[in-house]
Structure 1
């Protein structure tokens, strides 16, 4: 029965696509390999190279961008997925047509996609969109439902990632990138909409993972994978989500301090002190003075390896709960019960980053500028797609000019709208969209920008710089 259940959870059928053989007989390429290829060749993935991880618009080539962070997370996720698949095989639960490497691939796909919806300037970009929505509540809320308004007022990069992957990637057809259902399932970290209650004691309910516009797509994924529905629009996590989440937690917690060391915010001695409890016993025995002679990258690699091992201990102890999505903690938090000394050291890394890194003047200055840039762009673009424009209404003269500059592909918020805007007057085109869809078109555009492009466009639209 368990093998049959895993067969459903690891379904290689595609969203709005037909079912093909899992593995190509001539090349050995699997459907999960195809997902990996589709994602790495996508423009949304490429744009991560100019999006902030911690240090915005960093001049050093050493400092991680959102792209390098994502690649590192995918590498850790691949290792976790392979170890997970090996454990299933040892228990006789891995479907016969799958290998541990296949699970490594599909977890790495989810890792590659996990930050693809993040706006410019890191998590402050999310906060900037949220703040903008609250500031314009009087212009937005009367024209949409409460749940639709919450999609904007609680703008969530995770939900935007799912939106890109399942809708915006290819606007001409339903299903967007049409990845396998398993890849989508492994991406839905918070499987509920913005209208559902947040519960921070449950790892699956801390945020939301799809907008009202994409609720039907999320339900299609849920039904195909057989994920338990708790109430309409809220359902259980897919088991591979836990691995993607762990890969992200481990990676950013360790490497943010590595970047901080390069930025001279954390000394080598202090970094060695922090990483020492996370190292294998043979390295811990050397002491901090000896560790100081080792390269930082070697220490980082060893720490990530130990955290990965500790997470797999939690996995083996809670496999049934993970399979059904009922485990309430992130896997890294489960380490607090199995190896409390490692968890305490992991938490110490986060405390150090909060005290020394995230409050650095360079970070705060550019994050504040990001608020101004993103908020300013949204202010300007709302003139081109005003939510309150009704039948017989007219755009302002500046709004009409801006509408002509607005990339028309972003107006295709539904497949049936693709290619319908070119011969329409601006007001006619705007009225093709509901007020909610107009705001989604704007946030789709702005959240997809790179840091540099957002900064440049803001300067042009506000008259600071003429192209």
Structure 2
């Protein structure tokens, strides 16, 4: 790989747009192009909607518990920090002497911050259960929606994924007056592709558990890969860093949220980690066990210091967890930076087949252990399970009702032109409807209908989805289904 191409600051509109669409850099105001990407994402409406989307726990009256927005800002912050270390402290080791024409000290931190902020933008309401609910609706209504369509053509929906929706959102749906979305740089578009293959790719299915783009955006992805020197099945090196920051953020910070919500205590977490140290004795994991042991020693020392201050039990728990967060993140970030530095030649190879960065780092066992704690003490809690069930039911029911407004509309058929169908259709975002109705959209009508439905659901916040569901349900009971 060539870092100059990987950090390509050109935009698709500048290459493929008309002369009227090419706006140049008149509004750059001293910013380089990749820095402008972060700003475009930050000020985009879908980013603000993340404040009303569940991360793990139901939206809480305790506003210190994280939403999708706070999670995204935390991932962006961790990613930017690693980018600063890579481009300042480790510039020669990472980038060598082949970066004279690019300012890595500005471009790399900005790029990592941008893809950290955008990485969950396409996720539907109600956490990952929202993805499952969408998948299940299409599986249950497969014959009604797709008829005898080829299996490959409908995998985007049977295996619907928020990562692919994110790429679609920034390249197609968040539009002003053209078809270029937020018109992000090639570098940002390439590095935000967490899973570098489509829903029908067979060659990389064993490596990547999900897909990164829909068939409707394949031509854009091909253009992006061409401009940055990548290909199907090969990640941008910075993608590994962003994914590692996502792993660090949710493994550490979900544990903090679990304790803040009173589902476990600081001592429960310490005991859990100590059991992992006892459990893993083989020599191959000495370094990985050492990181956990050092973390335990540090946070227990701080806990003893806080006890001397005569804090209340709640304050002691809270202060101890804050120090856990500080030490845990520092340990994991250092292990990720060191691993990327030591194996950079593997990550910039077109033959790189690493699944992720964290698992091959010394922090891999700590991150895995924290995820196990989060699952056992948090994700299986009744409040989370209730949210998942409610979200699943709300999404499936609303998809039933919106389908009445979507199906057959382009052919003036079915119930889409009934009073209820017309009203339901108008409740869908105007941007999404414009893309759906665009005569230049070359996807088959049946695909476009299914995609408008997923666009609509994914773009909603938790509370708006519930409100719209209840509004339409009150009108839907008189409609012959």
When normalised by structure 1's length, the TM-score is 0.86
Partner of 2:256: 258
Which structure carries more helix by proportion?
2
Unaligned regions of 5+ residues in structure 2, if any? 17-21, 275-288, 307-318
Report the 3-state secondary structure (helix = DSSP H, G, I; strand = E; otherwise coil) of the residue aligned with 1:412: helix
**Given the alignment of the two structures, is residue 456 of structure 1 paired with residue 467 of structure 2, yes or no?**
yes
- Once residues 41 and 333 of structure 1 are traced to their aligned partners in structure 2, the CA distance between those partners, rounded to angstroms, is 34
Unaligned regions of 5+ residues in structure 1, if any? 229-233, 421-430
Shift of 1:100: 2.5
Shift of 1:166: 0.9
- Once residues 468 and 257 of structure 2 are traced to their aligned partners in structure 1, the CA distance between those partners, rounded to angstroms, is 29
Is the CA contact (8 Å cut-off) linking 2:407 and 2:415 kept in structure 1?
Answer: no
1:177-188 equivalence runs, <5 A: 177-188=182-193
- Once residues 85 and 94 of structure 1 are traced to their aligned partners in structure 2, the CA distance between those partners, rounded to angstroms, is 11
**Given the alignment of the two structures, is residue 158 of structure 1 paired with residue 142 of structure 2, yes or no?**
no
Shift of 1:289: 5.8
Q: Which moved more, 1:373-382 or 1:21-30?
A: 21-30
Of the candidates 380, 390, 412, which is equivalent to residue 359 of structure 1? 380
Report the 3-state secondary structure (helix = DSSP H, G, I; strand = E; otherwise coil) of the residue aligned with 1:347: helix
Partner of 2:35: 33
Partner of 2:215: 212
Partner of 1:424: none
Partner of 1:92: 97
Residue 302 and residue 144 in structure 1: after superposition, are their counterparts in 2 closer, same or farther (change >3 A)? same
Aligned length: 440
Of the candidates 351, 360, 368, which is equivalent to residue 334 of structure 1? 360
Is the CA contact (8 Å cut-off) linking 1:114 and 1:161 kept in structure 2?
Answer: yes
Report the 3-state secondary structure (helix = DSSP H, G, I; strand = E; otherwise coil) of the residue aligned with 1:189: coil
Partner of 1:73: 75
Partner of 1:376: 397
Residue 138 and residue 201 in structure 1: after superposition, are their counterparts in 2 closer, same or farther (change >3 A)? closer
Shift of 1:198: 7.5
Residue 434 and residue 266 in structure 1: after superposition, are their counterparts in 2 closer, same or farther (change >3 A)? same
- Once residues 447 and 302 of structure 1 are traced to their aligned partners in structure 2, the CA distance between those partners, rounded to angstroms, is 35
- Once residues 399 and 27 of structure 2 are traced to their aligned partners in structure 1, the CA distance between those partners, rounded to angstroms, is 50
Residue 360 and residue 284 in structure 1: after superposition, are their counterparts in 2 closer, same or farther (change >3 A)? closer
Shift of 1:121: 0.3
- Once residues 254 and 32 of structure 2 are traced to their aligned partners in structure 1, the CA distance between those partners, rounded to angstroms, is 34
Shift of 1:173: 1.5
Q: In angstroms, what is the RMSD of aligned CA positions? A: 3.2
1:188-203 equivalence runs, <5 A: 188-197=193-202, 201-202=206-207
- Once residues 388 and 399 of structure 1 are traced to their aligned partners in structure 2, the CA distance between those partners, rounded to angstroms, is 9
Report the 3-state secondary structure (helix = DSSP H, G, I; strand = E; otherwise coil) of the residue aligned with 2:147: helix
Of the candidates 288, 294, 297, which is equivalent to residue 300 of structure 2? 288
Report the 3-state secondary structure (helix = DSSP H, G, I; strand = E; otherwise coil) of the residue aligned with 1:384: helix
Partner of 1:308: 333
Shift of 1:82: 2.1
Q: Which moved more, 1:319-328 or 1:344-353?
A: 319-328
- Once residues 285 and 359 of structure 1 are traced to their aligned partners in structure 2, the CA distance between those partners, rounded to angstroms, is 28
Partner of 1:385: 406
Is the CA contact (8 Å cut-off) linking 2:56 and 2:127 kept in structure 1?
Answer: yes
1:120-159 equivalence runs, <5 A: 120-142=125-147, 144-159=149-164
Shift of 1:443: 1.1
Shift of 1:81: 1.8
